Structure 1
Amino acid sequence: MCASNCSSQANPSSFILLGIPGLESAQHWLSIPLSSMYLITILGNGTILVVIKMEPSLHKPMYIFLSMLAAIDLAISTATVPKMLCTFLFDAGKISFGGCLAQMFFIHSFSVMEATVLVAMAFDRYVAICSPLRYEAILTKSVLLKIGVVVVARAVALITPFPVLAGRLPFCGSHLVPHTYCQHMAVVKLACTDVTVNSLYGLSVALYVGISDMLLIALSYGMILRAVLRLPSKEARLKAFNTCGSHICVILIAFVPGLFSILTHRFGHKVPPHARILLANLYLLLPATLNPIVYGVKTKEIRNRVFRKFWKRKDLY
């Protein structure tokens, strides 16, 4: 029936992002914390990238992974927040069909990249604590380059089917997307045909990335814990745990909102739609905002160099 009535509308010219249905009256106010988070994200992650680039002593695997994470956080926020602010402040939620598919690809790809980088950072901490004498021999520049290629290739391979499959669906009904960005299932559910393949693939990717990455991180930290508990002195154990503290905080910030978002989206049918959308936004934006703060506070080398740059400039004036 759809094929005969709306074949010419299989690819609509545009969609309209509604923002957060049920909280339309509060969206102008929500733009204030959203803008603040975006500003902190740009300043914090930008500072980390500049400090690591300018300090040769920080050109080490741990900080290279941190710079990857900062760049991904900047990218995912920039792919999401500007359009979200336009929707909240000016009711300018219109986005072209191609633009919506592109946003879908980039947002979900950057999310997978971030999870993969967190796994790489867990491996880095494992090598640093369990094989400190072989650290530089294991994590060479060529190995870091290969890890970077894997981070990008894995995300592209897993997420490319999202826009490809969605782009083939006929959209002959409403073009109003009840979300703040072109989230995969929010767009797919607007199609006037069976979307079981899209739904199952999206769920499979979410479960694969979430479960496999968490297992690899848990395995790394399990071996780290075993190695740390074998250290003879309490001071050595505390120092070892301290080197992992910031990474553990970042993992919790990244995976806990994501886990709640996936569970409420798939199984929380009694959870209000605006609550699910808010969780999805927190999953994307909270790590990007808090990661530079966590690493700035917990990582002595970065903290000292930021203070040194700040006081040096202050002295010049």
Structure 2
Amino acid sequence: MRTSTLRYCALIDHVLNKNSPLLTASQIASLDRTQSEYEDFADAHVEHYAQQSCRELCTAMQRKLPRELRDMIHDYILSPTRDEPVFINNDYFDNVDEPYRDIVAGFAEERGYGYAHMCSEGFVDLDTMSEFARRWYHHTKLWLFLTPAEVAEFFETDIWGLGLESDRLLRHLEVEVCGTEYEDNITPLQQCLFKLAPGASIVFHLRVAFIYGYGEFTYDEDFTMFLLSERVSELFPLMRQLIDVGYELYGALDGYEDFRVTPATLDREVWKDTLMKHCEGRDCRSVLLILGGFADQEQGGDRHVTAGGHNATGSKYPHSLLQVSG
């Protein structure tokens, strides 16, 4: 790419910024078009050069550095997003045969985290991408807005489309506990949670909405917490087994702070009292307003979830099923 291209773009930008009152509308439009064409030309050449240089660097890294040092490099690249929650809803299964690397790249680009290129075969070879994906799973907190049955199904797939066993790599997971007696929370979670990485942390989310549904309702806090503690008590044997093998367990109510689950807390009344304390002086219905986007999207057939209740825009990558919390 010639230096004159960049200089010409800079000159046009200067003219538009400094002398626009002296230009006619047609002249401004012509300069805008020319500048856009030159910028596209420059972007294409920069991307081509970056792809070539990045792949050469990855090849050298694979040849000269041991795995431990390569992982340190991947960890450094991922450090701005470490431990940031990522939401996944059931739209993930619509095209489960397709890799979702572009979605990962989408929120990385949107947030300015600087690793979107690590999701593209144009920039990195598959060996390097696989290593990077493993570290991504290691550091990412996945919030699965899924039923336990969908959680088990999710663990049979790989977001990166590389055939990785994601469940054995994950160190933090948050799942939704169904609120009705007609849904089995136990069997699917027994099948998958014990496959998580040793020492992984698991958060069990309870939601008032799963008891009342969305919309108008008469709210009885004491009775609601009784129903939620009754429902989660079915999971106590599973929770005890998970604790015994070294996993860290937490409970959560709607959007309130997590609380640690230990063998001593595996009691229905203890859970009810804990849930009551977490919502003491606060109206759980206000949290439903924050989560109202879930219901609206589900009812409308568009269940793309973002933490802020809106879809991000402006990225060249598709994104919706995976979103970073705001």
Place the TM-score, normalised by the shorter chain, in its bin: under 0.3
Greater Rg over alpha carbons, structure = 2
Which has the higher relative contact order, 1 or 2, with Cα contacts under 8 A spaced 6 or more apart? Answer: 1
- The structure where strand makes up a greater share of residues is 2
- The structure where helix makes up a greater share of residues is 1
Query: TM-score, normalization: structure 2?
Result: 0.21
